[in-house]
Amino acid sequence: MSKDTSKKSKAPLKTLARTLGFVIRSYPVHCVAVLLCLIITTIVTAQGTMFTKELINEYIQPMLDGTLEQDVGFSRLGVRMIFIILMYGAGVLSTFLVNRLMVYVTQGTLKIIRDTLFEHMEKLPISYFDRNERGDIMSIYTNDTDTLRQLISQSVPNMISNVSTVVTVLTSMIILSPLLTLTALIVVALATTITRLLAGKSAKYFRKRQKNIGEVNAFVEEAVEGQRVIKVFTHEDRILETFDEKNGRLYDSTRLANGLANVVMPIMGNLGYLNYVVVAIVGGYLAVKGVGGFAIASLIPFLQFTRQFNMPISQFSQQLNSIIMALAGAERIFALLDAPVEEDGGYVTLVNARENGDGTLSECEEHTGVWAWKHPHSADGTVTYTRLRGDIVFENVDFGYVPEKTVLHDISLYARPGEKIAFVGATGAGKTTITNLINRFYDIQNGKIRYDGINIQKIKKADLRRSLGVVLQDTHLFTGTVADNIRYGKLDATDEEVRAAAKLAGADYFITHLPKGYDTEITGDGANLSQGQRQLIAIARAAVADPPVLILDEATSSIDTRTEAIVQRGMDSLMEGRTVFVIAHRLSTVKNASVIMVLANGRIIERGSHESLLEDKGVYYTLYTGNKK
């Protein structure tokens, strides 16, 4: 993400709990089954160890003393051995079930997380994507989500098993010898303190590592998309130098993170051996002296319990890398999920309508070609229907992308149904910003925008945008057929409607000459088509939606002069009877506009028809003729 979260802890326990919340909510029954199986495995291990004491006291020692009744003793031993075998069999089965269940739960949870991420991303405002690089966002879906795989499938079950093991083993150790247990705990406390300190330091670098991965991904994506520009300007060496710098930062953060985390395992292993030796010496002394009735028969299982007690700490150190890395990835996932969604306080909706005999409108289910704004009034509970005509009015609108910088100042304009409003002016004058306000990609700070007399902030954003057709300068095509991309403007459009829209846009000729016509596959954002062809498909996509209002942002900028003449005829038919907002640098395309508005520094400085503006010999005259007045 754009903010560096590598320097500050994000409450790892809270992050872990939230991650596990996805698992438990999605697979509650499976989680209970895994928990029971892990407890069974732990109990089986502890019981098997305790059997060592029973074996020595009741069978081996009596046999050495000659006091064991062989027939009775061995018969009883056989029963106990069968019981132990069955018990270990249950442990093996439980372990098998845990592994099988966790594969299903892990992959299912990752799918749910990705689905949740994508669903939330679709609700985010355009400003979020302005602030964050696409490659970094993609890294959350891939790298950060994948870090959770080992956490869920291995680390979490191991942590549960370790907690169960610690409780069971510690209880057994206390039963055997409280004094010797205290001795073992002193060394364990030392090991735990070291683990916590090293984990805290490495966590900072793991968070930085995930951020660096996102930066590298974003840079690679940018470089791949810009290969033509890179080669044209022969900037290969410069790009390589920048990549090496970013890749170097990823190397440093990864080296430091793994370096600290990898130190933990050998330290914990050696402290475990030290603990075993200390317990053996102290336990041997207690057994020889007979302190508290402690005997060799108790020392042997106690030593086994000591190894088992050290094992969870050793396993935790082995899992430390994946746990910290997963939590760093989870923090980035939750940062996206916590990003505020696009606010929508609208309650006016767009519905199919039928015109009654008295001229009023009523809502209907079938498509009649008549659309109406359904406006409920909370004051008296009534509902009014206003025909969708495409009447748009700006009243003293101020806007800034950030509060401290206003980019549009006191914009007032009106566009009556069927009128063509053109915006011209230098780059950065605010032309595209005005159209972005119409579809509420951004909300204004002051003033009002009315659509058919209704404040657009009262209209639900989805319904508002359904009534608008937009053709952008930067055309984006999706993987699929040509027909699929045109049909994106109206998902239930028939093949006939798709072809009619293509003809209207002047795209039918080149489409029919493609290898498979309308069924030709488009890949790589239309890399197999020319820029002009991609633009024609985008225009056809807007045409098939049949909207009452069109926004054309440099719609013909990538089309040659000959093709432009073809498209312009189709555009004239498309624009007939519609309210149209046109942004154009090529002024010849806006001569027939109802009103031309000249913008400079976020203000409308001139407005009028093509002829009247030329007569005024102002800024428009200069732009059009290239001559100073």
User: Would you call 557 helix, strand, or coil by DSSP?
Assistant: coil
Confidence class for position 218, pLDDT limits 50, 70, 90 = confident
Query: Distance between CA atoms of 400 and 445, rounded to whole angstroms?
Result: 7
Query: Directed axis angle between helix 561-575 and helix 531-545, to 10°?
Result: 10
Query: Distance between CA atoms of 73 and 417, rounded to whole angstroms?
Result: 103
Q: Is 42 exposed, middle or buried (0-12, 13-18, 19+ CB in 10 A)?
A: buried
Torsion of CA 284, 286, 290, 293, to 10 degrees: -110
What pLDDT is stored for residue 9 in this prediction? 47
Query: Distance between CA atoms of 439 and 456, rounded to whole angstroms?
Result: 9
- Are the beta carbons of 275 and 188 closer than 8 angstroms? yes
Which comes out higher in pLDDT, residue 376 or 190? 376
> Residue 321: pLDDT above 70?
no
Residues 556, 561, 564, 565, CA torsion sign: positive
Place of tokens 């939590």: 327
Query: Directed axis angle between helix 28-55 and helix 156-176, to 10°?
Result: 30
What pLDDT is stored for residue 7 in this prediction? 43
Q: pLDDT digit string (tens) for 329-384?
A: 888 899 999 999 888 888 999 998 998 888 888 988 887 878 899 999 888 889 99
Residues whose CB falls within 8 Å of the CB of residue 490, separated by 6 or more in sequence, listed in order: 497, 544, 545, 546
Computed over every residue of the chain, the mean pLDDT equals 81
Which comes out higher in pLDDT, residue 225 or 416? 416
- Are the beta carbons of 152 and 109 closer than 8 angstroms? yes
Query: Distance between CA atoms of 78 and 84, rounded to whole angstroms?
Result: 10
Alpha carbon 81 to chain centroid distance?
Answer: 54
Query: Distance between CA atoms of 384 and 458, rounded to whole angstroms?
Result: 14
Residues 226, 230, 236, 242, CA torsion sign: negative
What pLDDT is stored for residue 1 in this prediction? 42
Class of 392-625 in CATH:
alpha beta
Torsion of CA 51, 55, 56, 60, to 10 degrees: -170
Q: pLDDT digit string (tens) for 30-62?
A: 989 988 888 888 787 777 666 666 666 666 666
- How many Å from the N-terminal Cα to the C-terminal Cα in the chain? 50
Please name every residue paired with 376 in a beta bridge, in sequence order, or none if there are none: 383
pTM of the model: 0.70
> Residue 398: pLDDT above 90?
yes
Confidence class for position 519, pLDDT limits 50, 70, 90 = very high
What pLDDT is stored for residue 8 in this prediction? 46
Place of tokens 């407890």: 39
Q: pLDDT digit string (tens) for 67-116?
A: 656 555 556 667 777 777 887 788 888 888 888 888 889 888 999 999 99
What pLDDT is stored for residue 265 in this prediction? 63
- Are the beta carbons of 599 and 611 closer than 8 angstroms? no
Q: pLDDT digit string (tens) for 262-318?
A: 666 666 666 667 777 777 888 777 777 776 666 777 777 777 777 777 676 666 666
CA nearest 196: which of 269, 264, 273?
264
* Helix and strand counts by DSSP (H, E) for the chain: 21, 16
- How much is the average pLDDT of 207-224? 81
User: Would you call 240 helix, strand, or coil by DSSP?
Assistant: helix
Alpha carbon 247 to chain centroid distance?
Answer: 23
Percent of residues, the chain, with pLDDT higher than 70: 83
- How much is the average pLDDT of 13-25? 86
What pLDDT is stored for residue 5 in this prediction? 41
> Residue 196: pLDDT above 90?
no
CA nearest 333: which of 152, 492, 540, 508?
152
CA nearest 350: which of 338, 334, 341, 361?
361
Per-residue buried b or exposed e for 304-325, using 16+ beta carbons within 10 Å of the residue's own CB: bbbbbbbbbbbbbbbbbbbbbb
- How much is the average pLDDT of 542-550? 85
Per-residue buried b or exposed e for 93-127, using 16+ beta carbons within 10 Å of the residue's own CB: ebbebbeebbeebbebbbeebeeebeeebeebbee
Highest mean pLDDT among 203-207, 220-224, 579-583: 579-583
Q: pLDDT digit string (tens) for 442-466?
A: 989 999 999 999 999 999 998 998 8
What pLDDT is stored for residue 228 in this prediction? 63
> Residue 143: pLDDT above 80?
yes
- What are the φ and ψ backbone dihedral angles of 394, each rounded to 5 degrees? -100, 130
What DSSP state is assigned to residue 342? P
- Are the beta carbons of 349 and 335 closer than 8 angstroms? no
What pLDDT is stored for residue 359 in this prediction? 82
Query: Distance between CA atoms of 78 and 59, rounded to whole angstroms?
Result: 11
SS3 content of the chain, % helix, strand, coil (to 5): 65, 15, 25
Query: Distance between CA atoms of 290 and 283, rounded to whole angstroms?
Result: 10
Class of 12-211+257-337 in CATH:
mainly alpha
What pLDDT is stored for residue 595 in this prediction? 92
Domain boundaries in the chain? 12-211+257-337, 349-387, 392-625
- Are the beta carbons of 261 and 319 closer than 8 angstroms? no
Please name every residue paired with 552 in a beta bridge, in sequence order, or none if there are none: 471, 582
- How much is the average pLDDT of 201-230? 77
Residue 181: count other Cβ atoms within 10 Å of its Cβ: 21
User: Would you call 607 helix, strand, or coil by DSSP?
Assistant: strand
Confidence class for position 239, pLDDT limits 50, 70, 90 = confident
- How much is the average pLDDT of 518-539? 82
Lowest mean pLDDT among 75-79, 205-209, 408-412, 478-482: 75-79
